[in-house]
Structure 1
Amino acid sequence: MFGDEKWGFKPLSECVDSIDTGKSMNCGEGPRGVGGFGVLKLSALSSGTFVASENKVISKDNFMSIKEVEKGDLLFARKNTPELVGTTVYVPNEVRGLMFPDLVFRMKPKDVNALYLLAYMRSDRGLDLIQGMAHGSAKSMVNIPKTQLARLPVPVPPLELQQEFADFVAQVDKSKFKLGTCGGML
């Protein structure tokens, strides 16, 4: 589906409401407490699954609601090691009191299925294009500029096909979870 030319392509900037940059904050030691405020660490994305517990505490006074992570967001590691730059995760649940850092872009998909877009950005083709945008002098940390990411060509099949694809991926993920919880008894 990702390589089919018949659907046509749109730049990523036309598939999302915006590509927002997070905020660098002075943080305390350790994660936020229950009901507290925090800023995500890059490790919240590194596994490929959104991990809300990977954060650093900040004061309520420093919290910026405009930078708050919301259900349905796609979070993109814009700066990281060459292997992890471009890691993208989907925020599946409502979270409160967490901001995304300046090393992460937040995107809100529009006129495209969020899980379809996530799968494309994680596909071999998507990752090759994304990681090809990364540059920097330090081999330990590279950066993807917002202007280049905005031009990422995204294949855009009809929404019904995107939804079918997302439903299929969700079923596969559920099957993997069920198999993983069987303790190898199958």
Structure 2
Amino acid sequence: MMKYPIVPLGEVCDFVYGDGLKEADRKGGNVPVYGSNGIVGWHDEAITKGETLIVGRKGSIGEVHLSKNPCWPIDTTYYIEKTKVPCDFTWLYYTLLALDLTRLNKSAAVPGLNRDDAYEQKVPLPPLTEQKRIASLLARADHLRQLRQTARDLGDELLQSVFLEMFGDPLPNPKNWKRIRLENCCDQVVDCMHTTPNWTNSGVLCVRTSNLTNTGGWDWSDTRYVTEEEYKERTVRSEVNVGDIILSREGTVGVVAIVLSGMKICLGQRLVQVSPKRKVMASEFMLWLLLYELSPERIEKVMTGSTSQHLNLADLRKMEIIVPPLSLQAEFAGVVARVESLRGRMGESARQVDGLFESLLAQSFSS
């Protein structure tokens, strides 16, 4: 790998303070208004004249965005539209990402980035032609990552579309399916223990609301464990079995996941375990039914005592749900299995692409 001069970021560019623009003063138009977390609105006037880099100053500090067109960065940001040395802006964008300016927060109350701290960060400075080569390579890898995520999102949309096509909207019930109470479709609807688990570094997985998603999958980015003894204590009322559905009843309602083969788990706080009767209800059908009916925009129509922040357990048990023929539910479960199998292969591919991008990023900007 070629070696380039290592210079402080402050010798490459200046961070300029963004300008305040209240939401009420934004007039629409085609000029993007940037906050620290990206585009926050549109206006009919820009304060930059061309390609612009936006860096979060308050709030989402250190987050970096690239606008290819003139824009209006507001006062929670810094922006860069001129450099002190010849720079390709896409290269500079990836340079700032590699620096990870989010780690420079010094404020405990309101996250904030001091630009003097950013200026001290060291970066390699290749010639402009080499910058363009690096930027092109990283942009292609980044685009591939985004395509993978788009494909996963389309998978979620596909399953909801198939669900609605096969069963209709469960609320108006245009196909006139039989309706019965949720509790009558289940062997049990069980609340979790109302005590905080005693966490350990290893042991049995204890799931929390943060492990559930609004697309029916699991998120294991933050896992917690309990001892075997605590696992037994937390499953005295009911062991969690394959095909059971776990949902959140407080905080973030509408996040749901299904227990898969090989999973040994117990429940943390604010969760509910729903065990469908296998002769009445396919778990995959109930999962997508609950994802649809417990979504923030519909939950209050379904259960008057519940909101997007709180699910009333008594109302959940009494909630009337559609019960299509089990054969049709099984057909939908087959569609879910095929999509999940495809997403599993895509997930492995996505991890490889992410690893490639991170490796390229590190190699391109290592000193």
TM-score range, shorter chain: 0.7 to 0.9
The reply to whether residue 76 of structure 1 matches residue 241 of structure 2 is: no
AA partner of residue 144 (structure 1): L
Deviates more, 1:67-76 or 1:55-64: 55-64
AA partner of residue 249 (structure 2): R
Q: 1:71 to 1:131 in 2, by over 3 A?
A: farther
1:51, distance to aligned residue in structure 2 (A): 4.3
1:106, distance to aligned residue in structure 2 (A): 0.1
1:151 to 296, 315, 318: 318
In 2, Cα distance between equivalents of 1:42 and 1:109: 20
CA RMSD of aligned residues (A): 2.7
Q: Is the 8 A contact 2:196 2:268 kept in 1?
A: no
TM-score (norm 1): 0.75
AA partner of residue 321 (structure 2): V
Corresponding residue number in structure 1 for 2:263: 95
Corresponding residue number in structure 2 for 1:15: 185
In 2, Cα distance between equivalents of 1:178 and 1:55: 23
1:62 to 224, 230, 234: 230
The reply to whether residue 45 of structure 1 matches residue 212 of structure 2 is: yes
The structure number with the bigger radius of gyration is 2
1:122-169 Cα offsets, whole Å, 9 max, x none, are 23x55344355434xxxxx82111111112221111100110111112
AA partner of residue 261 (structure 2): N
Gaps of 5+ in 2: 1-166, 354-367
1:72, distance to aligned residue in structure 2 (A): 1.3
Q: 1:162 to 1:18 in 2, by over 3 A?
A: same
Q: Is the 8 A contact 2:192 2:271 kept in 1?
A: yes
Gaps of 5+ in 1: 136-140
Q: 1:105 to 1:49 in 2, by over 3 A?
A: same
In 1, Cα distance between equivalents of 2:219 and 2:240: 12
AA partner of residue 187 (structure 2): D
Corresponding residue number in structure 2 for 1:116: 285
Greater helix share, structure number = 2
Q: 1:24 to 1:60 in 2, by over 3 A?
A: farther
Pairs aligned (count):
170
1:10, distance to aligned residue in structure 2 (A): 1.4
Q: Is the 8 A contact 2:250 2:310 kept in 1?
A: yes
Percent of paired sites with the same residue: 21
